[in-house]
Structure 1
Amino acid sequence: SLPHDQLGKLVDAGAIQEIPEQYSKEIAEQDTEQAAVGAQYKGKTYAFPYGIETQVTYYNKSKLNEEDVKSYETITSKAKFGSNLKEVNAYVTGPLFLSVGDTLFGQNGEDVKGTNWGNEAGVNVLKFIAAQKDNKGFVNVDSANMMAKFEDGSVDAFQSGPWDYAAAAKAVGKDNLGVAVYPTVNIGGQDVQQKAFMGVKLYAVNQTPSKGNAERIAASYQLAQALTSKDSQNNQFTTESRHIIPANKEVQASEAVQKDALAQAVITMGSSDQYTTVMPKLSQMSVFWTESAALMSDAYNGKIKEDQFLTKLQQFDKDLAAAK
């Protein structure tokens, strides 16, 4: 079992192989398009999706309503939005660049030289990040303290994934917890749809231990198919301790999923590239995480000035293109 962003490294290392065509056809038919993309690398399918993950907006319904949370500017004018920009987590903040049309490793996330943040749109993102320091509706808070701030009312909205739902519900009460897709955000004078990274949960088969035993290899693929089947995905969603948002389209349409606010927000986010970008699978992502986080943090903390933004972003693009 693996998160899809590890796929490229494992394929390149020869640890997993392209799956038989009968299974790749099943995946294309039964799972969402974005989930199927997460199981692919360089146009071939290497694994079986069993769940999807994206961040969503959590908010306190006593402070904000459904209309309010459609816009970041409305959230921060009426209440307090919490995030950490002093020490940026690139998984959380990096997709702002994708929201303005810039790309990370190209349109499909597999072109090492395809990052283009060194442009006017990228500069506007850094300007937006830097401006949050003076935004009265923005509260800088690290993830370890987010729930305490949400509970005591210092923060009225924040963005995180399904893994934080139970803690958020406990902090403000389940009936008071709102869950929504990402809002629009005004960057460079334009309202754009804020994006998040999408993750796909996968099962993959490593044929190497079988030493060429065809029967054992076939049985392994059958097991992976069973673990990611419609019934299995339904079980993993309805089991409270798991509650994994399904990738299977039929399970997504089930009554249990349809009436679950968190699942609906994640599915809406994960069903369209309007809201999410499937996280790239290249091994160069390790360089992206550290360099982009430092760049965004430095913009917020004033370590780099506005007239340096373009140069720093252009250098960032070059560093990613040269990464191994």
Structure 2
Amino acid sequence: MEKNTWKKLLVSTAALSVVAGGAIAASQAKPVEAASKTTTLKLWVPTDTKETYTEIVKNFEKENAGVKVKIVESNTANAQENVKKDPSKAADVFALPHDQLGQLVESGVIQEVPAKYAKEVKANNTGQAVAGAQYKGKTYAFPYGIESQVLFYNKSKLSADDVKSYETITSKATFGEMFKEMNAYKTAPLFLSVGDTLFGKDGEDAKGTNWGNEAGVSVLKWIADQKNNKGFVNVTSENIMSKFGDGTVAAIQSGPWDYATAEKAVGKDNIGVAIYPTINIGGKTVQQKAFMGVRLFAVNQAPAGSNTKRISASYKLAAYISNEESQKTVFEKVNTIPANTNAQETDSVQSSDLAKAVITMGSSDKYTTLMPKLNQMTTFWTESKAILSDTYNGKIKESDYLKRLKQFDKDLANTK
């Protein structure tokens, strides 16, 4: 759709606040479009969650007579691509990972949410989750879950005290990671652990990466030194779980998506979950960080055109399926860790070691850095992986570490 068409199609922020605020206020007195015409909304939910959201949506429809919701499963990793292909034919409400938010806002596909909902998002969710739903200080989506990598360990080889430190893990047992092929998602946050930034403090400054310094050099030295660490085992994406299962490695780092596989590998009685350990880099002990992800629902106004009732209903739906009760249900059904602070305190969540570890990791920037939302992340993944793998594989001389990192900073700053 042409850019000018978008401008004609979309209401201004001020007008939208009136629409989504006034129409919603009216809907408190009587359901949206309860008169005669049914409002039908299309909802895209993550793969393998349709059954879970079907029950949630049934309750929404009961509370909002005249509104019907068609649920379709969609791969959230492709949300941006699928919506931008033809916004008018895409879903009214769709799930997406927060790092796609910036590109969708910049392209005009989604707009700032009405003030009423922005206040609710801020009041009900963790600070990191709220930041994930914002872009340049404004709220554009509704958080419904958080995710972060954690430490999985074999309790027959390491104690809960042992896994507090990387040096203890590798002196008493073994740690496995993919360094020859290198996964930048897992390893690049080491630079953030030593105080360097990626796209600035808030992850929104294209020229704000500063890895070309002594702290950055110390990270590359540490990576190269792991070849000489008897407690470090290089693994591949294909054999990491089998080596965890046969005892070759006693600890690995991954996310909730791998928990079931990790538990099966070592057995229910032996699987341990913990936050990331501290790690000694450049002679300093620092808290190792991971990237944090926020799962969001966003509203796409294009299918509604100028139908303000449909737009209003879409915001109500997005708010409903991301509220406290819905997040509790989704956690109990498919283990999505809640972003809602009250939902995080429920017995079902607090009885899960995995959930508690992810919540702690996502509790502040002490443990995690929110994945940046900029277009330049495409360049980041490619170039950071090259530097990290070349360092471990001995393709970069130590004397060239600083030069290579400074060039990396420049390349990211010059990416459009």
**Fold similarity call, TM over 0.5:** yes
Aligned partner of 2:350 among 235, 258, 262: 258
Secondary structure of 1:175 counterpart: coil
- TM normalised by structure 1 equals 0.99
* Alignment match, 1:303: 395
Secondary structure of 1:2 counterpart: strand
Aligned partner of 1:198 among 280, 289, 292: 292
* Alignment match, 2:139: 45
Q: Does 1:184 find its partner at 2:278? A: yes
For structure 2, the 5+ residue unaligned runs are 1-94
Aligned partner of 1:212 among 294, 306, 320: 306
Deviation of 1:142 (Å): 1.3
* Alignment match, 1:162: 256
- Residues of 1 paired with 2:102 and 2:184: CA distance? 19
Q: Which has the higher contact order (CA 8 A, sep 6+)?
A: 1
Percent sequence identity is 67
CA deviations on 1:8-56 (whole Å, 9 max, x unpaired) are 1111111111100101100111000100000000000000000000000
Q: Does 1:235 find its partner at 2:329? A: yes
- Residues of 2 paired with 1:36 and 1:203: CA distance? 12
Aligned partner of 1:71 among 156, 165, 171: 165
- Residues of 2 paired with 1:142 and 1:244: CA distance? 26
Deviation of 1:144 (Å): 2.0
- TM normalised by structure 2 equals 0.77
- Residues of 2 paired with 1:245 and 1:314: CA distance? 37
Q: Does 1:289 find its partner at 2:381? A: yes
CA deviations on 1:254-282 (whole Å, 9 max, x unpaired) are 11111110000000000011000011000
Alignment of 1:1-324 (within 5 A): 1-239=95-333, 242-324=334-416
- Residues of 2 paired with 1:89 and 1:228: CA distance? 31
- Residues of 1 paired with 2:247 and 2:151: CA distance? 16
Give the number of equivalent residue pairs. Answer: 322
CA deviations on 1:162-198 (whole Å, 9 max, x unpaired) are 0000001101111110000000000000000000000
- AA aligned to 2:259 is Y
Secondary structure of 2:299 counterpart: coil
Secondary structure of 1:149 counterpart: helix
Q: Indicate the structure (1 or 2) with the bigger Cα radius of gyration.
A: 2
- Residues of 2 paired with 1:155 and 1:217: CA distance? 52
- Residues of 2 paired with 1:250 and 1:227: CA distance? 15
Point out 4+ residue stretches in structure 1 off by more than 2 angstroms: none
CA deviations on 1:67-108 (whole Å, 9 max, x unpaired) are 110000000011110000111111100100000000000000
Name the Cα RMSD after superposition.
0.6
- AA aligned to 1:126 is L
CA deviations on 1:107-158 (whole Å, 9 max, x unpaired) are 0000000000000000000000010111110111112211111111111100
Deviation of 1:227 (Å): 1.1
